[in-house]
Amino acid sequence: MGYIGHHGVATLRRYKYSGVDHSLVAKYILQPFWSRFVNVFPLWFPPERTLVLVFLFQITLTGFMFLLTSAFLGFLYSPHLDTAPPRWVHLAHGLLLFLYQTFDAVDGKQARRTNSSSPLGELFDHGNLHLKLKLVDSVLKKPFESLAFGSTAMCGKATFWFWVISAVPFYFATWEHFFTNTLILPIVNGPTEGLMLIYLCHFFTFFTGAEWWAQDFQKSIPLLGWVPLIPEIPVYNIVLCLMIAFAVIPTIGSNIHNVYKVVEARKGSMVLALAMLFPFGLLLAGVLVWSYLSPSDIMRNQPHLLIIGTGFAFGFLVGRMILAHLCDEPKGLKTGMCMSLAYFPFAIANALTSRLDDGNPLVDEQLVLLMYCLFTVALYMHFATSVIHEITNALGIHCFRWRALMILAPNGGTDRDRRKYDTLWKYKLRRDDDEDGQHEKEDIVDPPADCRPYRLTFLDLIAWIRYNTAGAEKEAGTAASCTSEFNCSYRCLRRGMCNKCCKKHGFVRGQCDKNAECYCCTT
């Protein structure tokens, strides 16, 4: 089924992101660091792709892989999140989370450096969520962040509540963005101070051990036991209560206030606005009822499957809301969002059957939980791939495609070049259709008669990258592939590049008698 209508396609073409970050830590500490770190990626390095070994990943998705690795370490050494892993695991958790935050912030800067941001970027950035507060990346990030912290703090079943307190502000922030059209991050917010606090906790645990979080609060600090009225509960429960009181409640209060002002100014209905929170409330209620009735206590014994499955369902809800904002859909409750909740009646009914048969459910609950996880993963992936396909078709862009470096070598190329794969001339250079299917004659580049086009292999591409990033060696180099009569980069397959732009992007270009209009200067 389609997720974007004709009005949505027209709205996507007018897309312009708007956001405000009031965080002082980000402004004075992290932003200067991120501005320097982004220079690690060259200008020809697209924000949605990064080179990892021999695979091409998005910068955002690479950050997600850091979190996935962190959660896997937690599962490997603490399957039920109630045993202490080796201390080096806590150090790894902290470093991986720090790298995730850095990559999550840098890809937007890289997009602005290369002038390649798009609505698809915002959708990926929120959701990679699952698969930056932005669709494939942030939704899955929340459960994996929580699972890593649960491993560090030995939270056990309380890990689910740490996921809840991270998901609630995220959902409310997305809901606020839906109405205000501006993503507003307060002075203290989750993507900055929240993540910083978590990876500092990981580093702290590296020195103290995970047992520190599971001990009674009275014993956690010397002489604290002498203070009257100190409750005898684990330290992680105290942390949970403090986060709810001083972070979650003030944040959602601010979100509701901002939405109320917008709705009042537009003379809309606040009831309809609040109705958009209903699917998320049903999601939490469904999980809690299922866990309460569960004969095998799934929240304690299978926390990873429960949190990951619920995280994907949460990602579907957030993804639908983000898409509704990008496409300017009518403000109100979207019944299609409830598709991610369709599994709960079956799961709850199966748990109830255990009360009729001495605690034995009709279907093994571990299998039911696994099917729940697979259902939400399949639902979310169908949504994500369908939306990506529709957006790329609507905007005429590509996703996860590394544009091949094309070279026209004089006299058919060197002996090495002749062994490369031939690229059909009509594929990129002779015929490049515009949006209306008409050939743009001015974009056609006619090569000399003795030149042939070649598509470089992946190894050739790596060699070309090394050559163009070799500093003085590049200036003195005379590689045939970089001194040909026409040399294209991933930024310019259709048109020639002026000398100014070649110098800016670090590309070597020979003299060509048939220079075309410079693509970089006209876009």
Q: How far apart are CA 61 and CA 170, in angstroms?
A: 19
DSSP annotation string for 349-395:
HHHHHGGGTTT--SS-HHHHHHHHHHHHHHHHHHHHHHHHHHHHHHH
Residue-wise DSSP of 396-437: T--SS--PPPEEEEGGG--HHHHTSEE--HHHHTS--B-TTS
Alpha-carbon distance 361 to 370, whole Å? Answer: 15
Angle between helix 365-395 and 119-127 (nearest 10): 160
Alpha-helical segments (H) within 154-209:
159-180, 195-208
Q: Give the DSSP letter of residue 3.
A: S
Q: How far apart, in whole angstroms, are the C-alpha atoms of residue 458 and residue 296?
A: 50
Please report the sign of the dihedral spanned by the C-alpha atoms of residue 97, residue 58, residue 508, residue 492: negative
Residue entry with tokens 């970027």: 121
CA distances from 263 to 18, 104, 252, 272 (A): 19, 31, 16, 10
Structure tokens at 127: 């959701």
Rounded to whole angstroms, the Cα distance separating 67 from 239 reads 22
Is residue 79 within 8 Å of residue 156, measured between CB atoms? no
Position 163, amino acid? W
Q: Under DSSP, is residue 151 helix (H, G, I), strand (E, B) or coil?
A: helix
Nearest one of 36, 56, 182 to 109, comparing CA atoms: 36
The answer to whether 503 and 476 have CB atoms below 8 angstroms apart is no
- Residue 304 among the catalytic residues: no
Name the phi and psi angles at 421, rounded to 5. -70, 130
Contact in structure between 496 and 517 (CB atoms under 8 Å): yes
- Sequence-distant (6+) residues with CB within 8 A of 512 are 485, 486, 496
Among residues 93, 126, 177, 325, the one annotated as catalytic is 126
Which residues, 6+ apart, have CB-to-CB distance to 340 below 8 Å?
279, 283, 312, 313, 314, 316, 317, 376, 379, 380
User: What positions carry a catalytic annotation?
Assistant: 126
